Amino acid sequence: MIGNSDFDSLERGAGKGGKGMRIRGNVRSVFLGAAPRAFLLGIFVLFFALFTMPSFASEVHWSYSGEEGPENWGNLSPAFNEAMGGAQSPIDITTEGKENGVEFFYRDGKFSVLNNGHTLQVTPENERENYIVVDGTRYYFRQLHFHTPSEHTLNGTQVPMEIHFVHGDDKGRLAVVALFVVEGPENEAIAAAWSAAPRERGKTGKIEKPFPLNGLLPRDLDGIRYYGSLTTPPTAEGVSWIVLDEHVTAAAGQISWFTDLIGKNARPTQPRNGRILAPFQGRIVR
Ligand SMILES: [Zn+2]
């Protein structure tokens, strides 16, 4: 029908002037003769387009290098948009967590305790003396601190306390070892820390005896690793978390003493968003 009305207007336009009339007359006769063919051609083109539409994406040119290479696949066609998604394959399969593990180089030494209002923080006098080695990188022990109840949960359940051993490498990257504390026999290292802990916010107290940093670790140092963030503002990401499987104990009174002084200081758990929990094997080297 669209074709017909087009021809109507062509015919109407042909009604002016003599010379033009002849020319238009020729055009008209040509077009009139061609009309059925053009109509059939139109139908054919329409069907061709309909039947080939689904395979349109597969006809977009792509290659393994240059402007149509893998880094640009997502821009070559709307049908390729998913190439820019966050869960593409293939990926690099790493076995670092299992093979390299985490090595602890901790020594008992001189430490002090800071009450910063959010937690009690046990800091070594010498920041280069203790370290862990993760994937061949040395992360120096900066401080440990406490959370009650635990921040990480086990199958949805909090335990009474969690200790964070914060380490940093020479490039400013952080690796934090998380250790769960459950109620049980008194903890000697925690007793040493509490004995020097100032009750006033902003104050620091020295631990008199050598602080048993090594003694704070459980015997089995296996666990899981994942990439996360700090758990206090600014909650910066890029933190390598090393969560130990085995718990240590503290007396119920030791745990409640901390909560009475500082209050509950656990951030709620955050969405995992598909992050991988990689098992590792840890060991004390000295
Ligand atoms: Zn913490």
Per-residue pLDDT of 40-58, as tens digits, reads 566 555 555 544 444 455 6
Average pLDDT score over residue span 84-98: 63
In this structure, is residue 119 part of a structural domain? yes
**Closest by Cα among 245, 207, 216 to 144:** 216
Ion ligand 1 neighbours, Cβ < 5 Å: 164
Q: What is the pLDDT of residue 59?
A: 81
User: 205-225, pLDDT tens digit by residue?
Assistant: 999 999 999 999 999 999 999
Provide the pLDDT confidence category of residue 37 given band limits of 50, 70 and 90.
low
Where is average pLDDT lowest: 33-37, 109-113, 123-127, 252-256? 33-37
The verdict on residue 91 lying in a domain is: no
Region 215-243: mean pLDDT is 93
Whether the pLDDT of residue 170 is over 70: the answer is yes
Residue 253: which H helix or E strand, with range?
helix 252-262
Tokens for 270, please give them: 């955050």
Q: What does the pLDDT read at residue 24?
A: 40
Query: In whole angstroms, how far apart are CA 15 and each of 12, 18, 20, 31?
Result: 6, 9, 9, 16
**Cβ atoms of residues 255 and 141 within 8 Å:** no
> Would you state the pLDDT for residue 58?
61
Indicate if 143 and 230 belong to the same structural domain: yes
- My answer on whether 74 and 106 are in the same domain is no
Dist. CA 150 → ligand 1 center (Å): 9
What's the CATH code of the domain at 212?
3.10.200.10
Q: Is residue 279 part of a domain?
A: yes
How many of the other CB atoms lie within 10 Å of CB of 208? Answer: 10
Q: What is the pLDDT of residue 84?
A: 73
pLDDT band of 91, cuts 50, 70, 90: low
Cβ proximity of 162 and 182 under 8 Å: no
Domain assignment of residue 31, yes or no: yes
Q: Among 4-13, 47-56, 69-78, 115-124, name the one with the lowest average pLDDT.
A: 4-13
The answer on 227 and 111 residing in a single domain is yes
- Number of domains observed in the structure of the chain: 2
User: Are 165 and 108 within one domain?
Assistant: yes
Same domain flag for 245 and 114: yes
> 86 C-alpha vs ligand 1 centroid, how far in Å?
29
Q: What is the pLDDT of residue 11?
A: 34
* Nearest C-alpha neighbor of 229 from the set 274, 174, 149, 163: 174
Residues 139 and 249 occupy one common structural domain: yes
pLDDT per position as a tens digit, 259-283: 999 999 999 999 988 888 888 889 9
240 or 45, which is more confident?
240
Domain boundary at 84, 107, 141, which? 84
Q: How far is the CA of 146 from the centre of ligand 1 (A)?
A: 6
> In angstroms, what is the span from residue 144 Cα to ligand 1's centroid?
8
| Residue 108: pLDDT over 70 | yes
The answer on 218 and 104 residing in a single domain is: yes
Burial status of residue 270 (CB atoms within 10 A of its CB: 0-12, 13-18, 19 or more)? exposed
pLDDT at residue 2 is higher than 50: no
In a domain, 90, yes or no: no
Domain that holds residue 38: 2-84
| 3-state class (DSSP) for residue 211 | strand
- Average pLDDT value for residue range 58-83: 87
Task: Determine contact, residues 80/61, Cβ cutoff 8 Å.
Answer: no
Residue 9 above 80 pLDDT? no
Rounded distance from Cα 231 to ligand 1 centre (Å): 6
* CA dihedral for 14, 16, 19, 20, sign (positive or negative): negative
For the full predicted model, state whether its pTM sits above 0.95: no
One domain for residues 209 and 280: yes
E strand spans, 125-277: 131-134, 137-147, 161-168, 174-183, 204-206, 223-229, 237-244, 248-250
Do 104 and 71 lie in a common domain?
A: no
Please give the residue that has the higher pLDDT: either 136 or 179. 179
Examine the domain organization and report whether 51 and 160 are in the same domain: no
Is 145 an annotated catalytic residue?
no
Final residue before a domain boundary, out of 39, 58, 84: 84
pLDDT at position 92: 61
**Which of 14-18, 72-76, 178-182: highest mean pLDDT?**
178-182
The answer to whether residue 163 sits within a structural domain is: yes
User: Does one domain contain both 131 and 226?
Assistant: yes
d(C-alpha 285, C-alpha 241), whole Å: 20
Within-domain flag for 27: yes
Q: Do 102 and 79 have their domain in common?
A: no
On the question of pLDDT at 20 being above 60, the answer is: no
Among residues 118, 145, 164, 247, the one annotated as catalytic is 118
If you average pLDDT over every residue of the chain, what do you get?
A: 82
Backbone angles phi, psi at 211, to 5 degrees: -80, 125
Q: For residue 89, is it within any domain?
A: no
Last residue of a domain, one of 36, 62, 84: 84
Phi, psi of 113, rounded to the nearest 5 degrees: -120, 125
